[in-house]
Amino acid sequence: MILWRIARLSASDLANAEHRHYGFLSLQNEQERLVMITQLQKLTAQAIVNIFETGKVQGDYGKVTLLRDDPGHLTYGRSQTTLASGNLYLLIKDYCGQDDASYAEDLRDYLPRLEAADLRLDDDIRLKTLLQDAGDDPVMHTIQDAFFDRVYWEPCLASAAYIHAQTPLGIATIYDSKIHGSWHRMRDQTTAAVGALADIGEQQWITQYIATRRGWLATHANRLLRRTVYRMDNLQQLVTANNWDLALPIEIHGVRIDAATLESPNPVRVSAAEDEPRMLMLKRPYMTGEDVKALQQALTTAGFDTVADGIFGSGTERSVLRFQKEHRLVADGIVGPATRAALGI
């Protein structure tokens, strides 16, 4: 059994995180809460989502997808990260920062447009070809594995701990929503309908969450999202089988997962993110708004005094960099999912 150490926050930090609709870890008597899951169960949970996204147990590191009406626009990689969210930029920036990355020189030219989430890149054939080719680079494999852990898996564990979810199937369900999008919205709808997980029990809450999310997907205005109900149907099959420990082998969307396939080296892929926070960073003109002020307040609370004027200037960037370095995050001054999770915002 592996203890996944999430973080240490005060009770007031947790209350603020919940108020801002970002799941984090649950604390009892100021002690950090740990999520317990084996490495095999982690790989199984990730394989389930890889199959949902790419049809393959290990995922497809070079998979480039563009579907009409997909709010994520161009998507890429093992678990399909998106252009519109800004996460594709973060992934490619990480890759281009590696000295031995085979396609770094060519992809580096695209970083400014990826950072700006330039939607015209949807139709850039050269970029798509470079991304596909880079998917065969072992360096890209390593970067993507670390990236999806940092940006999606670790925040998933934090959200699981926050609502007191402990079962591997419960964690897999949360991870799927972190990748697919709109976890917080569906979490809050489920809690409003049946109560908190800690009050009614994990199995009942997760079962209701799956039903709630399936209903939302099935009736969504975006026709592509309506076609992704198979994700909830497959998770419900595991619930029906009472396989809360993700005991192998299992079959997901017609693909078998067993220990051998997990250790060995096409469904619809569409983002469900509708209300995800924007990336915050130093740029010209300066980024401004309540989300910037909330960041500045969180930095001050964390011990990095920052003027809460709602303007992301050089002083705010310095505070972000100091926070990232102290918490062993990628120190790039960009406030994305990993930095937000560490700050509890």
Domains of the chain, by residue range, sit at 2-263, 287-343
Statement: the pTM of the whole predicted model exceeds 0.85: no
The beta strands (E) that lie in 262-336 are given as: 287-288, 311-312
Span 287-343: which CATH code?
Answer: 1.10.101.10
Query: In this predicted model, what pLDDT tens digit does every residue of 235-287 receive, in sequence order?
Result: 999 999 999 999 999 999 999 999 999 987 644 445 676 667 899 999 999 99
Please report which confidence band the pLDDT of residue 21 belongs to, taking 50, 70 and 90 as the band edges. Answer: very low
Identify whether the C-beta of residue 310 lies closer than 8 Å to the C-beta of residue 292: yes
Least confident range of 2-11, 111-120, 203-212, 216-225? 2-11
In DSSP terms, which residues pair with 250 in a beta bridge? 257
- Please tell me the distance from the alpha carbon of residue 318 to that of residue 305, in angstroms, as a whole number: 10
**Greatest Cα-to-Cα distance within the chain, rounded to the nearest angstrom:** 55
pLDDT for 6 beyond 70? no
- Please tell me the distance from the alpha carbon of residue 266 to that of residue 314, in angstroms, as a whole number: 45
Q: Which residue is it, tokens 């700006």?
A: 116
- Please tell me the distance from the alpha carbon of residue 257 to that of residue 237, in angstroms, as a whole number: 14
In DSSP terms, which residues pair with 280 in a beta bridge? 335
